[in-house]
Amino acid sequence: MKINLRNTLYGLVICVSCFLVGALMGSKADEQSITIGMIGQASKILGLSFSDAESDSMITELEDLRKSTIAIRKVALDNSVAPALNFNPIPFGYQFPDQASGFKLGPLNKSSLPANRDELAYYSVRELADLIKHRKITSVELTKFFIERLKKYNSKLFNVVSFTEERAMKQAALADAEIKAGKYRGVLHGIPFGVKDLLSTKDYKTTWGSVPYKDQVIATDATVVKRLEAAGAVMIAKLTLGELAMGDVWFGGKTRNPWDLNRGSSGSSAGSASAVSAGCVPFAIGSETLGSIVSPATECGVSGLRPSFGRISKHGAMALSWSMDKLGPIARTVEDCALVFQAVYGSDGQDLSVIEAPFNYDGSKTLKGLRVGYLEKDFQRKYANRVNDSLTLVKLKELGAELVPIQLPQMPYNDLVIILSAECGAAFQDLVISGKDDLMVMQNKNAWPNTFRGAQFISAATYINANRVRTLLIQQIHEQIKGLDLYISPSFGANLTASNLSGHPSVVLPNGFNSKGLPASITFMGQLFGEGKLLQAAQAYQQSTDFHKKHPQLNF
């Protein structure tokens, strides 16, 4: 995700602009007297003007603010400590789409072992589960198979930070013993998976893909990891992410796209999408703040679910933006995403931002009778995937959906990204203070180090007012999509930013290929906490196409 440094400077606090950079870098700026001249220079950056008398009258207040800023900065704050402010995406008068929870998978033909075992790499989770359940293959065999593939292709794809082989083999052996004893836990029992290495695991490093943290050990398992293992799934690797959740470049290199090794896999869930696409894991956990599931899933031709904000506990996950971070599955099929989501959603008593809401999924449902909005002006503009997206709209009509034209409210979406800048600047202020931001791999103007530095100048007033605008955005989107079951959007554009700010869920899935033979995608958008109907609709569309069945040819 790209953050424009210019946006981070709009809310420059007058007092901080005069002295904070020097103080952060260890100078005596905190001891300097604040002068009328300092205030005058700082106010120019804000686009404000104060008389000398007004500036003089502010000096005592600004000196007090400086003292408070420095005192607060001296308190040790681990990344896991969240602010005492919880973002709530629910608009006024909103009712959850699902009134009760339920989970029903769609029909599946019995699976059989392929003559060529390599074909197992591209089986869906459900197909692999059928083999395990009926003891046509063991979890140990399947786990060894996927670990070997990861090791074989990692030297070219750079999608693994840590192999968790010892832990995986113990889990797989336990799964086989339980299944043999008739204690089958469900579809995920014995299925290998990987997690983005911003999720903590007590037995292995949690590097966040970043040089300053590459030897970090967090002695706890993230809630998502615990819940997947409780369902019987087998973790085989910690997968790459772009450094501190930006892009696909990490301290070990650039994670590659299995469809074209000359391309990165995009980010920041770079390793998760790359590994699923290459058939090295049946599914993986990624995260999204501003496109980090949608973008790599598109690039690598796989399916991804970005749930509503507050659906899945982020306990044990690196915090980038407390009000925008969302964990979600990346898999070969939409239904695989649904069954992983079923295993991990809900409160754990650790993440206070989690909102309890029903989840009702029925994989046998069709699109008939559904009212599906589409962002009319967005589909009409000239963009790279316009033809494939137009064909998707045609297919939805054929499948019985009623298409309803809608449009997003007019809002300064790009400017509202200052919310993310402020929060990530707080989350990683220690890097700026210590100077360890200089150790990070990417150092260009739009990279994290400069965002973190610039974010130190965002005023509390600007951050709060941006969130007030966000309240208007949430309410207006609610009014636009009220009465719809879901809506459709091009994967990239204003909707990606708007919906990440509003907290709405999305499913991104393949809908064709571009002129270079690389995957393209479409995005299905749900009502807040409407993942059930969203996944049902996306699954129905996916089953009417075969794009998800295509996979890269790994001739390396």
What is the spatial distance between Cα 403 and Cα 486, in angstroms, rounded to a whole number?
Answer: 10
SS3 string, 432-463, reads HHHCHHHHCCCCCCCCHHHHHHHHCCECHHHH
DSSP-derived secondary structure letter, 185:
-
Does residue 254 register a pLDDT over 50?
yes
* Alpha-carbon distance values, 416 to 44, 94, 402, 471 (Å): 22, 23, 33, 11
Cβ atoms of 114 and 100 within 8 Å: the answer is no
292 has catalytic annotation: yes
Tokens coding 121: 């790499």
Q: What is the mean pLDDT of residues 68-73?
A: 89
Q: What is the mean pLDDT of residues 139-155?
A: 98
Does residue 465 register a pLDDT over 80?
yes
Give 14's Cβ-side CA count (13 Å radius): 25
520: helix, strand or coil: strand
479, burial (CB in 10 Å: exposed 0-12, middle 13-18, buried 19+):
exposed
Backbone dihedral angles phi then psi of residue 176, each to the nearest 5 degrees: -65, -40
Confidence at residue 457, expressed as pLDDT on a 0 to 100 scale = 85
Q: What's the mean pLDDT when you consider all of the chain?
A: 93
Domains of the chain (ranges; CATH) run 1-75 (no CATH), 109-354+365-412+469-549 (3.90.1300.10)
> Model confidence at 29, in pLDDT bands (50, 70, 90)?
low
Q: Most confidently modeled of 20-29, 158-167, 452-461? A: 158-167
> Model confidence at 105, in pLDDT bands (50, 70, 90)?
very high
Q: Which of 17, 111, 124, 268 is catalytic?
A: 268
Which H or E element spans position 248? none
Number of H helices, E strands in the chain: 20, 17
Which H or E element spans position 108? none
Backbone dihedral angles phi then psi of residue 215, each to the nearest 5 degrees: -110, 15
What is the spatial distance between Cα 92 and Cα 192, in angstroms, rounded to a whole number?
Answer: 42
Confidence at residue 2, expressed as pLDDT on a 0 to 100 scale = 39
Confidence at residue 25, expressed as pLDDT on a 0 to 100 scale = 43
Confidence at residue 4, expressed as pLDDT on a 0 to 100 scale = 39
Q: Which of 292, 323, 421, 502 is catalytic?
A: 292
Confidence at residue 3, expressed as pLDDT on a 0 to 100 scale = 38
268 has catalytic annotation: yes
Backbone dihedral angles phi then psi of residue 139, each to the nearest 5 degrees: -65, -35
Confidence at residue 15, expressed as pLDDT on a 0 to 100 scale = 38
Tokens coding 495: 């909707």
- Euclidean distance between the first and the last CA atom of the chain, given in angstroms as a whole number: 29
Confidence at residue 137, expressed as pLDDT on a 0 to 100 scale = 98
Nearest to 552 by CA among 264, 300, 329: 300
Confidence at residue 69, expressed as pLDDT on a 0 to 100 scale = 87
Backbone dihedral angles phi then psi of residue 346, each to the nearest 5 degrees: 105, 165
> Could you tell me which residues come within 8 angstroms of residue 77 by beta carbon, excluding any fewer than 6 positions away?
430
What is the spatial distance between Cα 491 and Cα 340, in angstroms, rounded to a whole number?
Answer: 22
Q: Which of 111, 196, 323, 499 is catalytic?
A: 196
Cβ atoms of 388 and 522 within 8 Å: the answer is yes
Q: What angle, 0 to 180 degrees and rounded to 10, lies between the N-to-C axes of helices 531-543 and 386-398?
A: 100
For residue 106, the one-letter residue type is: G
**DSSP characters over 309-354:** TTSB--TTBPPS-TTT-EEEEEESSHHHHHHHHHHH-B--SS-TT-
156 has catalytic annotation: no
> Could you tell me which residues come within 8 angstroms of residue 177 by beta carbon, excluding any fewer than 6 positions away?
none
Confidence at residue 169, expressed as pLDDT on a 0 to 100 scale = 98
Confidence at residue 30, expressed as pLDDT on a 0 to 100 scale = 63
> Model confidence at 151, in pLDDT bands (50, 70, 90)?
very high
pLDDT above 90 as % of the chain: 89
Confidence at residue 28, expressed as pLDDT on a 0 to 100 scale = 56
What is the spatial distance between Cα 420 and Cα 455, in angstroms, rounded to a whole number?
Answer: 9
Listed range (20-24, 215-219, 382-386, 433-437) with the worst mean pLDDT:
20-24
**DSSP characters over 19-36:** HHHHHHTT-SGGGSPP-H
Q: What is the mean pLDDT of residues 180-189?
A: 98
363-414 pLDDT, tens digit per residue, is 999 999 999 999 999 999 999 999 999 999 999 999 999 999 999 999 999 9
* Alpha-carbon distance values, 261 to 120, 158, 194, 296 (Å): 22, 10, 21, 14
284-342 pLDDT, tens digit per residue, is 999 999 999 999 999 999 999 999 999 999 999 999 999 999 999 999 999 999 999 99
Cβ atoms of 17 and 10 within 8 Å: the answer is no
